[in-house]
A and B are shown apart, each in its own frame.
Chain A
Amino acid sequence: MKFVIMFGAIILAALFAAIGGYTKPKALWWKVIAILMVAFALILTILPPVSGNLSTARYIKEGFYESLNLHITNKTENHYFDEQSGKWFVYLGDKPIDLSDPSAVNFNRKLVIHATELPYGFSEDAELVIKAGYDKENDAIKFIETKYINPLFDYPFVPNLDERIKILNLHVPMAWIAVIAYLMSMIYAIRYLKTGDLNYDINTASAAALGNLFAILATVTGMLWAKYNWGNYWNWDPRQTSIFVLILIYAAFFALRAAIDNPERKAKLSSVYSIISFITVPFLVFVLPRMASGLHPGSADDVNAGPLVSAQPSALDTNLVWGFGLSLFAFTVIYFWLFNLLVRMNIIKNKLS
């Protein structure tokens, strides 16, 4: 199902971009829809809260987090309301902890929830996301505030990721779009070599340029994510290194084009280069980072092939894949729009010179 959503998003975007032709001017309604989809994807990425559950809080390491978001659902196996004392209790391990008692007792792993107040409106069906802080001196979790009651859509709490799980929707589509762009570049290169029509050469160069843009964006966003997860902006992780090599390969593509003046020779050589360099793309992007051991999810150290591609049910939830699919769709549409503009501009530039 995950794969259907992910590849379906790309195919849908390609079909949506085919409306009106890939290289002809687009109607206004098309552009409005494209902008709305991107806006919606960004809102869905930034606004919903990240929640956890109390069983996650049970097994975290000491001193690993500075803050946690805890998602408390009113299910009887986790909570119950004690009629006699009129208080809410939650089970942490085998012991019930009083959620409203500021001096709740320690137990096994010395994790304690001090909830000084329960939010108003906590009823039978309420779902809460509360923000709790980690008190290093007392080695306890302390309640800070209630963030949401009954969130419509929330992200799961993954240890070490906290809020940054949302970057999945922003960073991964960039990388996939770069691969699609390079693929399109190769397809147009093959078509040029078959027919000799110079317009295909324009498409090849435009697609490769956009592939470079999106690969650079993927690298930069990945670096910013790495700073807060791995400690440094650049770690020579296999996947970071391979995307860097990929950028260098396609930068050489443009150096090659700039060095030749004759249009037919330029087109022929750059088509051949595009085809050959695309052969390296699946290896660099899909195979090598999974074979080598490294920090990036999906490397040989990881249990699965990455949260998106993994077949394990514990890896990314199907609900979340919809949000990711929407983001992928929106950014792919933007890529096709940029491709459209770039090709039209290059055609005019060629006609003038």
Chain B
Amino acid sequence: MEQFLHDNSLYVVLGIALILWFGIGIYLFSLDKKVSKLEKQIASIKE
């Protein structure tokens, strides 16, 4: 597999782009979960 990636380095570029997207995406996803939890807390306090 290493040799294949060495020859077709475009997939290395693609892999790096995907790492960036997944890294930022996972972070956004976890932020979103935290915000939903907080919103639920606010809703439960208001009652």
Chain B: residues with Cβ within 8 Å of the partner, total of 25
A93 to B46 Cα, complex, angstroms: 82
A163 at the interface (CB under 8 A from B): yes
State the Cβ distance, B1 to closest chain A Cβ, in Å: 12
Q: With both chains docked as a complex, state the minimum distance between the C-beta of B14 and any C-beta of chain A, in angstroms.
A: 6
Q: Which residue of B lies closest to A224 (CB)?
A: B16
Known: A221-B16, A224-B15. A341 touches B31 (CB 8 A): yes
| A:333-353 near B, CB below 8 Å | 334, 338, 341-342, 345, 348-349, 352
What 3 A-B pairs have minimum CB-CB distances, sorted nearest first?
Answer: A163-B9, A163-B10, A166-B13
A228 within 8 A of B: yes
- From residue B35, how far is it (CB to closest CB) to chain A in Å? 5
A213 (CB) vs chain B CBs: closest residue: B27
Q: What residues of A have a CB within 8 angstroms of the CB of B5 in the complex?
A: 228
A182 to chain B, nearest CB (A): 17
B4-29 contacts to A (CB < 8 Å): 5-10, 12-17, 19-20, 23-24, 27-28
Q: Give residues in B with beta carbon < 8 Å to A.
A: 5-10, 12-17, 19-20, 23-24, 27-28, 31, 34-35, 38, 41-42, 45
CB contacts (< 8 Å) of A220 on chain B: these are 19, 23
Which residue on A lies nearest to B6, using beta carbons? A228
B19 to A46, Cβ gap below 8 A? no
A125 within 8 A of B: no
A sample of 4 more A-B contacts (CB under 8 A), given A228-B9, A338-B27, is A163-B13, A166-B10, A217-B24, A349-B38
Contact of A42 among B9, B17, B31 (CB under 8 A): B17
Q: Tell me how far the C-beta of A115 lies from the nearest C-beta in chain B, rounded to whole angstroms.
A: 20
B13 touches A170 (CB 8 A): yes
Q: A163-B10, A338-B28 are in contact. Are A170 and B16 (CB under 8 A)?
A: yes
Nearest residue in A to B27 (C-beta to C-beta)? A213
- Whether B35 contacts A345 by the Cβ 8 Å rule is yes
